[in-house]
Every structure is written in C-alpha cells, then in structure tokens.
C-alpha cells in the first residue's frame, strides 16, 4: 500500500522519480509527491493521478530525491496529507510506506515539546523525530528515530544540503537498485526495471546510507553485506504493449504465464515437503484466497489429504490447531495478513511453503521454501494472470500428489485458455452493465470460481456482485432476485450438472435473467437461459481455468461498457501492506 521511490546519482532526479511513481501507482493512487535536494530542499505534492508531463510541471532541481504515491490510511487524500512529510523547518523530508502504530502518542509528545504538525498522517512524526535527534548526522538521527517507532515502515529520508538518502525497512518492502555511480530505491522492482537489473533486497531492521558513490547497509548498528541479485523481469513486460488496459493485456498473457509456471516445475526439496504432508493448510487473501479454496475442492476428492483454506486476515486472531504443511499464496509476496499467518505457522514449527510471483519478496524470506509463479509483472489492480498462475502452481501440487496423473492435462491447458480469450461476451456484459446487483453461482470448485468472478465484477465495474454456492441461493438471496438482477451460473458436465440445471430453473422462475457458462453443444442449457457462453468440453482442471477466464472477460467488458478506470479502480490498491 503506497509506493515509495528514491534516486541518487548524477542525473536529474525528478523525471526518474515521476516515472518510478507511475510504475508504482498500482500500489495506491489518491495523491503523490516528490522532494529533491539541489541547492535547497524542494517539495511538490498533488492529489489525483500523475500526468505525463508532471516532471516538467513540478520543475524541481537536484540529483537526489524521493517520491511517494499514496493509498490513504491515516488522513484523507489531500495535498497536506500527501508525502513527503517534512519537519517544522522543512529541512527534512520523509516518504513512508506502512503504518506507525504508536503515532498518536508520539505526536502528542512531540507537540508538547513544541513541534508544529501540519498533516493528519502517522508519517509526519518520523520527520519531527528526525529533526529532534539531528546533531549533524542524518544517519544517526534516523537510527535514533527508529527506536521510537512501532509498526511497519519502509522509509526514505532526505535533508537539505546533503547528497544522501537514508533508507530503512521494517515489515514493509524496500529494494535498492544498483547503477553506475547511482542508486535507486523503491517499494518493489517495477521502477527499477528501466534502469538496472542489479538489486539488493533490504531485510527487516536494515538501515541504508546511500550517496552517489557508496552504499552502506547497517543492521543492529553493525555494517552488513547484502547480496546483489539479478532481476528476472524485463521492462517490456511492464508496458501496455498496444492493449487498451493492463488488465486486458494480462488476461491475454495467461496462456503464456500458465505454461511458464507449469514448465518451471517444482524443485526436489519442495516436492519432498509436499509429498510428506499429512495435512495441508493454505493461507491467503483476496483473489489468492479463492485459488486456495479451488485447490481444496479439487485435491480432496482426488488425494487422501485433508486441506484447509484460511483467510490471512482471520488466521492471525483465530488460529486453527496447526499440523502439517502450511502454504501461503500471494501474488505480491507482501500482503501483511498473509505474511503474519505464515509467521504464525513457523512459530508452530510447521514446514512452510510460499507460492508467489515476486522473487525476493518478503514472503520468500519468511517461508522455508518458495514455489515461484512465472506470471511476470502484473500491474492491473485486479488479479488475472497471477490467479491462473497460482492455479498452475497449485494444480502441479495436485498432480504431484496424484503421481503425475494430470501431466498431459496440465501441459496442454494453456491451449484451452487461449481458445476462450477471443470470446465475445458483450451480450452478457451489456446485461451486467445495466444491473446494480448480480449473483455468480456454481458448485464444487466452481463455487470459489464464482466468488472470484463476482470479486472481479465488483472491483472493476462497481456492480455489486456476490459469489454463492448455487444451492445456497434459495436460503436468502432469492429475496433479491428480480428481472434486473442477472445471475451468472457455471454449469458444466459432472455430478452436479442436473442439480445446477434445477437451480437455474428455480432462478428463472423468479424472473432473474441467467447467463450460463456451459460446455459447447449443451442445447438443454442453452435453451433455458438468457445468454449462453459455451466453453470447450475439457478436463475439470481445465474447465476451472477456462470458466475463470470467461468471468474475467465478463468483468472487463462490463467495466468497459461503464467506462470505469479499469486498471486503477477506486479505493483499492494492488499490494495491501496494512492489516
């Protein structure tokens, strides 16, 4: 949540900072700001989106600077609350991602000592504390300040008259890019892709002192070495490439990202860990949580293993008895609730596995082992290719536990995904775009697929949508069915087919229009519903993928019809690093 970026070197910092912030906008985009150090400390802040020519408009000078794009937590999205936040004399500027939990107490104490606060943010206390501890050495002042802070932070600090950035991290991500007599700092890899492939992931508790020619990293007051790693993403992957939206591009990248994730396979140690598990608990949030539910539905009838899928946000406070393997699933690898759940599993001495898309992310450093998805950078806030790549990773686990029974199915599944990409779902999208409410229903694994379809619909089109187990609709939601309430039903061959058809007839009897996703050639279904979307008649694992992709397209085209801000839906952020 929130993105921070820093540059120090020989180039003009401002364009680099704004370009970096635009790459980070998916982390939060209600306001933004930049501070540079040239002959003076200059600060520029605004609400709304960063425009193409923001660097020219801002007209800041200096080759050292920091920037921030905000997802408001403490204080509304206003210019005053935008970062950088400064001290009383506006000599010190701070950008911060995270939450300072004891900021109220610190603020009260600082005000008693005469500090004047301008914003409602928790971050401002950091600037005033640094001011208070400054005795000629910015690094020492930041170190002294950190001792007072409770909560999570990745911060970058600059000060007038100093060609220097001090960076610190605790429970919020921060990565440094290493250039030629220049350094970059950012919340994640995206802003670095344009400039360098050499990166250093800071650890929790690290403080970095950065000048154009020197980088010193300290931990517990001792100088430490952190390895330089090479980024495995390309800058082209982070561009829109002719598509109207990142989400559309990412939907279309799914055959490749699914295939690459399958092709990468599972290493031997991780295989052993999976095979040894008598019980599997999965923890995740949002879309990732839906993939864990799908996994549970798919694996339990196939393999003799009991599986629990838990929401990260609940897990920390209502921890179930823990035995066996714990798998944390997270696209970003930075979701606070998922990481907290994973840490609890470690505290219970459970073996832990992270499934994530981001090499070097926090989750990879907490878990015993990592299974890396190969989706490439995902920029649209709505998860699409990371969802199917997670399913690729999880389906490989199923395949492993089933002695390779689905080798063939999985190695060809990307072709079926490709087949549905060009489906014309505009009739269904028109129905949805006219509705205020919609239901998505399915049974078995298609129940969480429906939940994901509904989530996609509400997050990008703002049409209120709920995913339901089809049999549950009559226990309450039927009261909401009207001719203006479309119901999207997934009804594919299998043991629940006939009961799903009955459910659809019940829904139709309440006059709600039905959009059905069924298999090609299913005339019975096509005749009873208002819009029929046929998918290829394939293996169950593949149907889970193809129906999901159809639902992504439905949400996308509905949002297009409603002219929504598809890649940056209101109030959301892609990476949620607060509880």
Q: So which residues are the catalytic ones?
A: 2, 574
At 556 the three-state DSSP class reads helix
The interface region with ligand G6P, picked from 326-334, 442-450, 501-509, 513-521 by CB under 6 A, is 326-334
Place of tokens 């509705």: 435
Q: Residue 552 in contact with residue 424, Cβ under 8 Å?
A: no
| Burial (CB count <10 Å: 0-12, 13-18, 19+), residue 509 | exposed
- In the complex with ligand G6P, the residue whose CB is nearer, 338 or 538, is 338
Backbone angles phi, psi at 200, to 5 degrees: -125, 125
The interface region with ligand G6P, picked from 36-44, 122-130, 482-490, 568-576 by CB under 6 A, is 568-576
- Smallest gap from residue 372 Cβ to ligand G6P (A): 14
- In the complex with ligand G6P, the residue whose CB is nearer, 410 or 460, is 460
- Residues that contact ligand G6P, how many (by CB under 6 A): 15
The interface region with ligand G6P, picked from 175-183, 226-234, 273-281, 324-332 by CB under 6 A, is 324-332
- Smallest gap from residue 364 Cβ to ligand G6P (A): 13
- Smallest gap from residue 396 Cβ to ligand G6P (A): 18
34 vs 11: CA distance, rounded Å = 16
371 vs 325: CA distance, rounded Å = 14
42 beta partners: 36
Q: Which of 519, 517, 504, 521 has its CA nearest to residue 549?
A: 517
- Smallest gap from residue 4 Cβ to ligand G6P (A): 18
- Smallest gap from residue 56 Cβ to ligand G6P (A): 32
Please pick, from the candidates 97, 331, 538, 546, the single residue that binds ligand G6P as defined by CB under 6 A. 331
Q: Binding string, 268-307, against ligand G6P, x = CB under 6 A?
A: -----------------xxxx-------------------
146 vs 412: CA distance, rounded Å = 52
- In the complex with ligand G6P, the residue whose CB is nearer, 146 or 372, is 372
At 521 the three-state DSSP class reads coil
Strands (E) located in 9-131: 31-37, 41-47, 64-70, 85-86, 92-100
324 vs 274: CA distance, rounded Å = 10
Binding to ligand G6P by residue 245, rule CB under 6 A? no
Cis omega (within 30 of 0) for bond into 84 = yes
The interface region with ligand G6P, picked from 61-69, 135-143, 331-339, 481-489 by CB under 6 A, is 331-339
- Smallest gap from residue 315 Cβ to ligand G6P (A): 13
- In the complex with ligand G6P, the residue whose CB is nearer, 63 or 330, is 330
485 vs 395: CA distance, rounded Å = 34
Binding to ligand G6P by residue 330, rule CB under 6 A? yes
- In the complex with ligand G6P, the residue whose CB is nearer, 55 or 397, is 397
64 vs 45: CA distance, rounded Å = 17
Please pick, from the candidates 257, 338, 352, 492, the single residue that binds ligand G6P as defined by CB under 6 A. 338
- In the complex with ligand G6P, the residue whose CB is nearer, 14 or 291, is 291
At 100 the three-state DSSP class reads strand
- In the complex with ligand G6P, the residue whose CB is nearer, 178 or 572, is 572
Find the residue with minimal CB distance to ligand G6P. Answer: 286
- Within 13 Å and on the Cβ side, how many CA atoms surround 340? 21
Q: Which of 327, 326, 376, 371 has its CA nearest to residue 348?
A: 326
225 vs 426: CA distance, rounded Å = 55
308 vs 312: CA distance, rounded Å = 12
528 vs 525: CA distance, rounded Å = 6
- Smallest gap from residue 331 Cβ to ligand G6P (A): 4
Binding to ligand G6P by residue 383, rule CB under 6 A? yes
- In the complex with ligand G6P, the residue whose CB is nearer, 369 or 401, is 369
Binding to ligand G6P by residue 381, rule CB under 6 A? yes
- Smallest gap from residue 379 Cβ to ligand G6P (A): 12
Please pick, from the candidates 296, 541, 574, 577, the single residue that binds ligand G6P as defined by CB under 6 A. 574
Residue ranges binding ligand G6P (CB under 6 A): 285-288, 330-332, 335, 338, 381, 383, 572, 574-576
């Amino acid at each position: 949540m929130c993105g921070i970026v820093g540059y120090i070197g020989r180039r003009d910092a401002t364009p680099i900072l704004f370009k970096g912030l635009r790459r980070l906008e998916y982390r939060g985009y209600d306001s933004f700001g930049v501070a540079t150090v040239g002959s003076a400390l200059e600060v520029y802040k605004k609400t709304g989106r960063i425009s193409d020519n923001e660097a020219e408009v801002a007209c800041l000078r200096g080759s050292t600077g920091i920037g921030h794009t905000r997802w408001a937590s403490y204080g509304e999205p206003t210019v005053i609350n935008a970062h950088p936040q400064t001290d009383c004399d506006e000599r010190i500027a701070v950008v911060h991602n995270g939450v300072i939990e004891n900021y109220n107490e610190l603020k009260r104490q600082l005000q008693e000592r005469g500090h004047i606060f301008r914003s409602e943010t928790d971050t401002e206390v950091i600037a005033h504390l640094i001011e208070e501890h400054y005795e000629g050495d910015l690094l020492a002042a930041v170190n002294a300040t950190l001792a007072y802070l409770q909560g999570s932070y990745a911060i970058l600090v600059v000060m007038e008259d100093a060609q220097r950035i001090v960076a610190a991290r605790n429970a919020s991500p921060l990565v440094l890019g290493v250039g030629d007599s220049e350094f970059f700092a950012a919340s994640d890899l995206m802003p670095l892709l344009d400039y360098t492939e050499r990166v250093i992931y800071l650890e929790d508790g690290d403080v970095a002192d950065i000048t154009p020619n020197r980088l010193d990293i300290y931990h517990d007051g001792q100088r430490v070495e952190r390895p330089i790693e090479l980024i495995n993403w390309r800058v082209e992957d982070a561009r829109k490439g002719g598509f109207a939206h990142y989400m559309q591009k990412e939907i279309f990248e799914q055959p490749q990202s699914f295939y690459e994730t399958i092709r990468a396979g599972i290493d031997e140690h991780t295989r052993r860990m999976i095979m040894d598990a008598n019980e599997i608990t999965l923890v995740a949030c949002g879309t990732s949580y839906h993939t864990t539910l799908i996994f549970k539905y798919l694996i339990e009838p196939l393999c003799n293993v009991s599986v629990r899928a838990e929401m990260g946000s609940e897990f920390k406070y209502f921890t179930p008895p823990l035995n066996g393997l714990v798998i944390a699933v997270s696209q970003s690898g930075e979701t606070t609730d998922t990481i907290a759940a994973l840490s609890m599993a470690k505290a219970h001495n459970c073996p832990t596995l992270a499934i994530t898309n981001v090499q070097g992310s926090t989750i990879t450093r907490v878990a015993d082992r990592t299974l890396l998805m190969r989706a490439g950078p995902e920029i649209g806030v709505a998860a699409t290719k990371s969802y199917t790549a997670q399913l690729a990773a999880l389906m490989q686990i199923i395949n492993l536990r089933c002695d390779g029974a689905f080798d063939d199915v999985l190695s060809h599944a990307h072709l079926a995904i490709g087949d549905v990409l060009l489906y014309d779902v505009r009739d269904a999208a028109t129905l949805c775009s006219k509705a205020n409410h919609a239901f998505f229903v399915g049974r078995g694994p298609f129940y969480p697929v429906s939940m994901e379809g509904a989530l996609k619909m509400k997050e990008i089109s703002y049409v209120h949508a709920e995913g339901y187990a089809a049999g549950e609709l009559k226990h309450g939601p039927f009261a909401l069915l009207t001719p203006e309430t479309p119901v999207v039903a997934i009804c594919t061959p299998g043991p629940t087919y006939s009961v799903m058809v009955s459910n659809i007839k019940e829904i139709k009897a309440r006059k709600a229009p039905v959009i059905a996703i069924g298999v090609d050639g299913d005339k019975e279904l096509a005749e009873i519903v208002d819009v029929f979307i046929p998918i290829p008649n394939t293996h169950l694992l593949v149907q889970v993928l193809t129906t999901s992709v159809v639902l992504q397209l439905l949400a996308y085209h509905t949002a297009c019809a409603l002219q929504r801000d598809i890649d940056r839906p209101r109030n959301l952020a892609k990476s949620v690093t607060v509880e």
